[in-house]
Chain A
Amino acid sequence: MMTRWLRCLLISGWMLHNPSWADEPLVVVPETGEVRITTDFTGTDVKAVGSMRGPADLIIKLVGPQQTAILSRETKLGPFWVEGETMKMEGAPSLLFLYATAPIASILPPAEQQKYGLILEGVWVRVAPQLKARAADDWRKAFFRLKERQGYYLEDDTAIKVFGNRLFIADMRLPGDLQVGTYTIETLVVKSGKVVGHNVGEFKVRLAGIERRVWEAAHDHSWLFGSLFTLLAMLLGLALNAVPFRRAR
């Protein structure tokens, strides 16, 4: 809810683990270890750079921290369109970007896509309160449609550039309104329909600067914050309004 101008973000701490298993050595290094973003944050580019051995396809999966979304549906009440049912969508990642060197469906069979969570609309989401299967499915579909329209879930097969079958650079454009928390980057090397290399890294997004302090105060000490801010508003109004008016009279 807090507006995006509160979102002053700090992306830091790329912690890359060694490949969990590797038929092929694969190293992904972010362009910068720490990205500091100021008040008027409107999104940022994150670059991942890596190398692989020989020609292969690549899939990079960027997953944001979990986030509960509130989904509401407009219904007709007499002649009016009003806000009707409201559902909570729980457990799904706030953001899911799938980057690949070719359409994922063309380089991996469905079973493998499933195994590595490479299907946008296959993400697990819990609908609360519990509904019958078909009704819940309608809400899930609406959820995915909105996520994709707002640009938080996407599949892109143009963002990875490969040089000489060895080096690759991925341009990942993060939107302005990011959920704070830990983001993971999973890199998969694909050869003839099989995943042959695998690497997981992560980075953190958190609020920083004055906005962060204000946001924390507004939540952790909401009464104190409300009192002080209202007093400030009154003093500001007094200073700006009364003084010039008095002169005018």
Chain B
Amino acid sequence: MDVNIVLILLYGSLVGFLSGLVGVGGGFLITPLLIFTGIPPIVAVSTGSAQMAGTASGASYLHWRHGNIDFKMGLILLIGSWLGGGFGVYLAKVLLRAGQFGNVVVFLYVILLGFIGVSMLIESVRAVARAGKPGAGNAGAKAASNSLLRNLVQRLPWQMTFPASEVRMSAAGPLLLGAAVGILTSLMGVGGGFIMVPVMIYVLEMPTKIVVGTSLFQLLFTTAAVSIMQAGINYSVDPFLALLLILGSVLGTKLGARLGARLPAEKLRLILALVVVAVAAKMIVTLLVPPAHIHSMSVEVQ
């Protein structure tokens, strides 16, 4: 496989730039970008998790220093996501053997990115139009999720108190949430923050500050575990690729954070939404346009 080093550094810094600019992990962008470059999907997914373990460690450390991590909650999430992650790595192996891994990843991404991109786009265009009147956006989402899911979490067994988050609920809630996120990490190389954060805020009703720290803590150890399992089971972590991505993302994060301090928040979200929609559109196009060469070849991995 012939890969351009400069291009990989650029990808790393682009994703780092976005995460510095708008505060997202960027795992959902790295994997498709690597796949576009021609990296086999399993390598892109696995190396993406290694890279996220690297970038999340710095951020987690900061949140830990600020006391923003609910360790009890984080640990239960983590048990769930390790179980889910292990199952996901095994699922990846089965799909790889059936020759279907690439297809599953691409379709999951199209659905996921399309959904996130479009909803972000709608939200941020509205916010830009409103020109920064705060507070209105969250009420609707909160009311909607209040009803069903939250009632369910309140009724399940294993009720316990989480003092750091000041909530009381069933341990099954975070366990299941963690498992779902773990499977996504193995199959898509994403940290799952985009699912975790809204669920913790709206369904589990945790304070936002604690949510970000706890989600990062969970992300760090999930991606680390998945990265180890992918290397162990599928031999699919490329160390050189991962190091390049980490270096790139560190550079990008600094630039992004500097620029992010100057731009208004809704414009930042609009930028991110446009990038996400563009990536989703590109993936849809590659699915719809007939390929120039119908056959493709790779060398068997021992």
Contacts and interface: CB of A to CB of B under 8 A. Distances in A.
A238 B230 contact: no
Contact of B231 (A142, A218, A245): A218
A154 interface: no
B58 A3 contact: no
B298 interface: yes
Interface in B217-263: 220, 224, 227-233, 235-243, 246-247, 250, 253-254, 257
B54 A234 contact: yes
Given A176-B2, A237-B58, A241-B250, A226 B238 contact: no
A232 to B, nearest CB: 8
Nearest to A94: B299
Given A4-B1, A230-B228, A142 B53 contact: no
Given A234-B224, A237-B57, A71 B299 contact: no
Q: Is the interface of A mostly helix, strand, loop or mixed?
A: helix
B246 A80 contact: no
Contacts of A80: 287-288
Contacts of A2: 1, 238
A70 B297 contact: yes
B58 A73 contact: no
A70 B295 contact: no
Interface stretch (B78-86, B97-105, B171-179, B195-203): B97-105
Interface string B44-60: 00000011011111110
Contacts of A235: 57
A229 to B, nearest CB: 5
A236 B243 contact: yes
A4 B5 CA distance: 12
Given A72-B295, A86-B99, A242-B58, A234 B53 contact: yes
Nearest to A176: B2
Contact of A146 (B2, B62, B246, B297): B297
A116 interface: no
Contacts of A225: 231
Which among A73, A223, A233 has the greatest number of chain B C-beta atoms within 10 A?
A233
Nearest to A82: B103
Contacts of A230: 50, 53, 224, 227-228, 231, 237
B296 A71 contact: yes
Interface in B257-302: 257, 286-291, 293-302
Nearest to A248: B257
Given A218-B231, A234-B53, A3 B238 contact: yes
A245 B58 contact: yes
Contact of B56 (A69, A142, A237): A237
Interface in A199-244: 214, 218-219, 222-223, 225-227, 229-231, 233-238, 240-242, 244
Contacts of B29: none
Contacts of A229: 50, 227, 231, 237, 239, 242
Nearest to A240: B250
B232 A222 contact: yes
Given A69-B297, A74-B291, A236 B224 contact: no
A89 B290 CA distance: 24
Contact of B3 (A5, A67, A143): A5
Contact of B230 (A1, A81, A226, A237): A226
B43 interface: yes
A81 B246 CA distance: 33
Interface string A155-186: 00000000000000000000011010000000
A233 B242 contact: yes
Contact of A71 (B51, B227, B250, B297): B297
Q: Please list the 3 inter-chain residue pairs (A to B) with the smallest Cβ-Cβ separation, ordered nearest first.
A: A241-B58, A226-B231, A237-B54
26 contacts: A1-B43, A1-B236, A1-B301, A3-B2, A3-B3, A3-B240, A4-B3, A5-B3, A71-B295, A81-B286, A142-B295, A146-B297, A222-B231, A223-B228, A223-B231, A226-B231, A227-B228, A229-B227, A229-B237, A229-B239, A230-B50, A235-B57, A237-B57, A240-B246, A241-B253, A242-B57
Given A177-B2, A233-B50, 4 more contacts: A1-B1, A70-B300, A229-B242, A245-B58
Interface of A: 1-6, 67-74, 79-83, 85-86, 88-89, 94, 142-143, 145-147, 149-150, 176-177, 179, 214, 218-219, 222-223, 225-227, 229-231, 233-238, 240-242, 244-246, 248
